[in-house]
């Protein structure tokens, strides 16, 4: 739709047309954005990045995301299969990391196993290396003039000796660096088939004078340094010798970080194995071209002069400057995909050792066990949010269930229009005494008495169950739940089963939808519809449809979690569904189409860098809650995930150019002259450094440069058609406001 604006049309009429146009765009659409400014307080401290989402098994790299000349931080979490991006920001003379999720969705969606960023073609921009079934895939950094990161597949997998794929297990983290100091990127990795010896793949680009984009490798040696790691043995390292083998070798996971630890210019290694809790250092007493590793260079429990880097098993090391002193530091994290027996403390799984050396010989000193994690909500693993006014004070409080069998209770000490969540207890209702695991809380009036009851999907032993506790509080009083009155529903008896309650058939009682990984019949779907065939006060749930909505049961969409709520104020509920793809899918008109086929909408998350709407990619084992947290009539979404953290997604009507994150009150933007003649220059002036975006009445972005942060922007409007425009002003932390401007 395009509205032609005629010169001389009164501004009041233009505004009416604009309002109508935006309302038309908003119909039956869903639009969300990340927010990180809603406060959470823990132990009297305001959490800096409360909604960053938690970390379990992080893999660290550096990359300049915003093209400001300072490298930012890229984190890939192996348990969640998700990217986290942080900008390096200088505030009041102090450098710090600021969570910046808008960059996450600019990376390819198929990154998995492990991800390392390295500049293979020597153009000054970090490229992507990641694991695939065929070996190691590479994406080239093709960022253009707009400075928004972009990547194009360079090779589907790296080959060596002309035609053999270079394999690296998803449990073997390779070292990607210039091993021989000739300027190109070599690869050092443990043997894929047995993880017993180290293979060195030499890059031939310099030797053969090949183009820098070339990825030509040869296997230089399959026994680098004559090091052998005996399988199934913690620290079973041999030098210039082989292990005794009994039966078939199991592929032990092994990690490598290669760096010069002793200042002699050749590469030493730090090694972590899945059979061992500690990091091991092995120095190289040879040369660049002939590595020699020996027992004299072996140091267990590294670093030995300080707190050793020790997890219950499988550490991995990374060498990046994360404290802004231009000296690479040592980061150590567990290289695990799961935590079945709770071997790893996932609330403190990102260990930082500061490099204290003023020379080329690193000297690491322990700093903290919770790098980045200290600045976010991190309940350990598998956080599940629920929202309700638990204390009956007129605003919504937050519960956060987790895998360890407790519920964190955050009281809203703010207001109904501006939430501030303060952690009050990590064991709400003393549920740890009940012996549950994987607690998934939610609220529903299960007996239709006007009071919200507490529903708990839990794991006990090798089975699942859905429990509930009736709310016995009187109207208007804080919720009252007695753990001694807990009861069990006769549905949801498999691990991972999740219910949702809603009066879908509009008969005055609560029906039940069950999400499950278990398929009773070949035609079963991920969701089952149970109609309440009892009464409102005494429900009886009868299975009516085992493939509700005809949503297909796909292998990649396991661990479904659902809620039902009215998202867009049309008095018709939507189904929100998440699964292991990381997508939030929204299905509308479900009550009107109760026995039909549902159609999903997934491009709901707007990226402020591109203004495009995209599917979310929030990782696996997701859980969601929705409620209106700012009294604008539109529910916000809280997302919990496997990493124990939470994300906050604010909603706006699609087509609205004004973001719900307002500019700070002290930011007084002045735009003049307004109206502006086309032979003049429009000035945008702000006390804070801002960027701007210009839109016409059709909501189309006008290609006028405003991407650099500045206190003053001067805009030439000579090429614009006369009419009404919107100038969206954006601060460095992505708060924004739109201003109307008339061009004559």
Residue 10 exposure: Cα atoms within 13 Å on the Cβ side: 3
From the number of C-beta atoms within 10 Å of its C-beta (0-12, 13-18, 19+), residue 134 rates as middle
CA dist 186 and 553 (Å) reads 43
Cβ distance 204 to 157 under 8 Å?
no
Percent of the chain residues past pLDDT 70, beyond the cut:
91
Cβ distance 332 to 315 under 8 Å?
yes
Residue 97, strand partner residues: 88
Provide the pLDDT confidence category of residue 569 given band limits of 50, 70 and 90.
confident
- In the numeric block, the tokens 């039940």 are attached to 512
**What do you get for the CA distance between the two ends of the chain, in Å?**
22
Sheet holding 45-46, edge to edge: 45-46, 39-42, 420-425, 407-412, 397-401, 384-388
Q: Within a 10 A sphere around the Cβ of 425, how many other Cβ atoms?
A: 13
- For the chain, what is the radius of gyration of the CA atoms? 28
pLDDT digit string, tens, across residues 264-276: 999 999 999 888 8
Supply the pLDDT for residue 70: 96
Residue 646, strand partner residues: 640
Q: If you average pLDDT over every residue of the chain, what do you get?
A: 89
Find the helix or strand (DSSP H, E) in which 465 lies.
Answer: strand 463-469
Supply the pLDDT for residue 649: 97
Q: What is the mean pLDDT of residues 276-304?
A: 93
Cβ distance 671 to 737 under 8 Å?
no
Cβ distance 657 to 737 under 8 Å?
no
Helix (H, G, I), strand (E, B), or coil: what is residue 260? Answer: coil
Percent of the chain residues past pLDDT 90, beyond the cut:
70
- Specify whether domain 670-743 bears CATH 3.40.50.300: no
Of 657, 646, 554, 635, the closest CA to residue 600 belongs to 554
Cβ distance 563 to 625 under 8 Å?
yes
Supply the pLDDT for residue 542: 96
CA dist 455 and 473 (Å) reads 16
Residues 49, 54, 58: CA angle, nearest 5 degrees: 115
Helices (H) and strands (E) counted in the chain, each on its own, are 1, 54
CA dist 467 and 17 (Å) reads 53
Cβ distance 410 to 390 under 8 Å?
no
Inform me whether the pLDDT recorded for 24 exceeds 80: no
**CATH class label, 384-653:** mainly beta
Cβ distance 282 to 293 under 8 Å?
yes
Of 142, 137, 139, 86, the closest CA to residue 113 belongs to 137
> Is pLDDT larger for residue 403 or for residue 700?
403
Lowest-confidence region among 15-19, 443-447, 525-529: 15-19
Query: What are the structure tokens assigned to 216, written together?
Result: 């030509």
Inform me whether the pLDDT recorded for 10 exceeds 90: no
pLDDT digit string, tens, across residues 161-187: 988 999 888 899 999 999 999 999 999
Cβ distance 321 to 297 under 8 Å?
no
- The full set of domain ranges for the chain reads 55-375, 384-653, 670-743
CA dist 6 and 9 (Å) reads 6
CA dist 314 and 571 (Å) reads 51
Q: What is the mean pLDDT of residues 283-306?
A: 91
Provide the pLDDT confidence category of residue 243 given band limits of 50, 70 and 90.
confident
Cβ distance 588 to 600 under 8 Å?
no
Lowest-confidence region among 3-17, 390-404, 483-497: 3-17
CA dist 490 and 512 (Å) reads 12
pLDDT digit string, tens, across residues 667-699: 578 888 888 888 888 899 988 888 888 887 666
Inform me whether the pLDDT recorded for 576 exceeds 70: yes
Residue 162 exposure: Cα atoms within 13 Å on the Cβ side: 0
From the number of C-beta atoms within 10 Å of its C-beta (0-12, 13-18, 19+), residue 104 rates as buried
Query: What are the structure tokens assigned to 382, written together?
Result: 């598998």
Dihedrals phi, psi of 60, to nearest 5 degrees: -105, 140
Inform me whether the pLDDT recorded for 496 exceeds 80: yes
CA dist 21 and 542 (Å) reads 46
* Ordered DSSP codes for 42-58: ETTEE-SSTTS---SSE
CA dist 407 and 623 (Å) reads 14
Supply the pLDDT for residue 129: 98
Provide the pLDDT confidence category of residue 662 given band limits of 50, 70 and 90.
very low
CA dist 365 and 351 (Å) reads 11
CA 657 → CA 95, 206, 661, distances in Å?
A: 32, 51, 12
* Ordered DSSP codes for 690-739: EEEEEE-TTSPEE-----S-EEEEEEE-TTSPSEEEEEEEEETT--EEEE
Q: What is the mean pLDDT of residues 343-372?
A: 94
Supply the pLDDT for residue 20: 43
Lowest-confidence region among 247-251, 272-276, 474-478, 714-718: 247-251
CA 630 → CA 23, 410, 411, 420, 633, distances in Å?
A: 21, 17, 16, 11, 8
Cβ distance 364 to 306 under 8 Å?
yes
Q: How long is the chain?
A: 744
Of 728, 739, 730, 735, the closest CA to residue 710 belongs to 730
Query: What are the structure tokens assigned to 340, written together?
Result: 């079945």
Of 610, 601, 696, the closest CA to residue 31 belongs to 601
pTM, rounded to two decimals: 0.85
Supply the pLDDT for residue 501: 97
Query: What are the structure tokens assigned to 494, written together?
Result: 């498999």
Supply the pLDDT for residue 467: 96
Q: What is the mean pLDDT of residues 12-39?
A: 61
Supply the pLDDT for residue 463: 93
The β-bridge relationship of strands 39-42 and 420-425 is parallel
Provide the pLDDT confidence category of residue 730 given band limits of 50, 70 and 90.
confident
Domains 384-653 and 670-743 share a fold: no
Return the CATH number of the domain spanning residue range 55-375. 2.115.10
CA dist 228 and 241 (Å) reads 7
CA dist 684 and 682 (Å) reads 7
- In the numeric block, the tokens 């092995």 are attached to 282
Supply the pLDDT for residue 710: 86
> Is pLDDT larger for residue 121 or for residue 521?
121
Supply the pLDDT for residue 661: 43
Inform me whether the pLDDT recorded for 425 exceeds 50: yes
Cβ distance 386 to 625 under 8 Å?
yes
């Amino acid at each position: 739709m395009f509205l032609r604006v005629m010169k001389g049309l009164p501004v009041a009429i233009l505004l009416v047309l604009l309002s109508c146009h935006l309302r038309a765009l908003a119909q039956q659409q869903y639009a969300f954005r990340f927010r990180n400014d809603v406060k959470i307080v823990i132990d009297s401290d305001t959490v800096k990045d409360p909604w960053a989402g938690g970390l379990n098994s992080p893999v660290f790299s550096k990359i300049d995301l915003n093209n400001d000349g300072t490298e930012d931080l890229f984190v890939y979490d192996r348990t969640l299969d998700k990217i986290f991006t942080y900008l390096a920001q200088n505030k009041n003379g102090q450098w710090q990391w600021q969570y910046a999720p808008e960059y996450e969705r600019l990376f390819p969606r198929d990154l998995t196993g492990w991800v390392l960023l390295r500049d293979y073609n020597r153009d000054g921009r970090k490229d992507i290396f990641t694991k695939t079934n065929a070996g190691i895939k590479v994406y080239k950094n093709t960022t253009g003039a707009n400075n928004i990161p972009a990547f194009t597949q360079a090779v589907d997998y790296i080959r060596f000796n002309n035609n053999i794929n270079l394999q690296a297990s998803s449990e073997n983290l390779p070292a990607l660096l210039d091993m021989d100091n000739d300027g190109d990127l070599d690869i050092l990795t443990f043997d894929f088939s047995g993880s017993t010896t180290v293979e060195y793949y030499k890059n031939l680009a310099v030797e053969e004078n090949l183009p820098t984009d070339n990825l030509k490798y040869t296997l230089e040696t399959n026994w680098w340094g004559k090091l052998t790691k005996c399988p199934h043995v913690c620290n079973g390292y041999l030098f210039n010798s082989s292990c005794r083998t009994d039966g078939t070798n199991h592929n032990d996971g092994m990690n490598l970080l290669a760096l010069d630890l002793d200042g002699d210019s050749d590469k030493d290694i730090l090694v972590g194995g899945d059979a061992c809790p500690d990091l091991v250092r092995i120095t190289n007493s040879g040369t660049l071209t002939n590595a020699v590793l020996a027992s004299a260079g072996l140091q267990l429990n590294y670093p030995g002069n300080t707190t050793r880097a020790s997890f219950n098993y499988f550490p991995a090391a990374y060498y990046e400057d994360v404290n802004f002193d231009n000296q690479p530091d040592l980061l150590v994290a567990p290289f695990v995909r799961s935590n079945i027996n709770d071997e790893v403390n996932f609330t403190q799984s990102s260990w930082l050792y500061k490099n204290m050396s003023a020379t080329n010989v690193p000297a690491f000193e322990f700093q903290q066990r919770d790098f980045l994690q200290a600045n976010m909500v991190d309940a350990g693993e598998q956080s599940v949010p629920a929202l309700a006014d638990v204390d009956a004070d007129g605003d919504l409080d937050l519960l956060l269930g987790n895998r360890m069998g407790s519920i964190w209770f955050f009281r809203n000490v703010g207001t109904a229009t501006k939430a501030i969540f303060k952690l009050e207890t990590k064991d709400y209702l003393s549920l740890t005494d009940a012996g549950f695991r994987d607690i998934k809380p939610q609220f529903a009036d299960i007996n239709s008495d006007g009071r919200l009851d507490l529903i708990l999907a839990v794991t006990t032993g090798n089975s699942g169950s859905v429990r509930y506790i009736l709310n016995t509080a009187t109207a208007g009083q804080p919720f009252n739940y007695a753990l001694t009155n807990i009861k069990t529903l006769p549905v949801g008896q498999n691990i991972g089963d999740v219910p949702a309650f809603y009066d879908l058939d509009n008969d005055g009682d609560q029906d039940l939808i069950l999400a499950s990984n278990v398929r009773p019949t070949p035609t079963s779907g991920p969701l089952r519809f149970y109609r309440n065939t009892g009464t409102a006060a005494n429900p009886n749930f009868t299975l009516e449809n085992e493939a509700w909505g005809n949503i297909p049961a796909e292998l990649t969409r396991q661990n479904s979690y659902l809620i039902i709520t009215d998202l867009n104020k049309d008095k018709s509920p939507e189904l929100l569904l998440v699964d292991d793809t990381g997508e939030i899918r929204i299905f509308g008109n479900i009550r009107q189409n109760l026995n039909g086929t549902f159609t999903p909408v997934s491009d709901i998350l707007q990226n402020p860098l591109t203004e495009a709407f995209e599917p979310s990619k929030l990782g696996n084992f997701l859980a969601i809650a929705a409620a209106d947290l700012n009294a604008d009539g539109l529910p916000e979404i809280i997302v919990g995930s496997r990493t124990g953290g939470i994300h906050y997604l604010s909603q706006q009507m699609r087509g609205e150019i004004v973001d719900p994150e307002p500019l700070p009150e002290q930011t007084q933007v002045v735009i003049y002259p307004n109206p502006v003649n086309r032979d003049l220059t429009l000035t945008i002036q702000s006390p804070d450094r801002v960027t701007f975006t210009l839109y016409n009445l059709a909501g189309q972005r006008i290609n006028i440069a405003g991407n650099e942060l500045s206190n003053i922007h001067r805009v030439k409007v000579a090429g614009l058609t006369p009419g009404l425009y919107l100038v969206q002003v954006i601060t460095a932390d992505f708060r924004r406001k739109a201003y109307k401007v008339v061009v004559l």
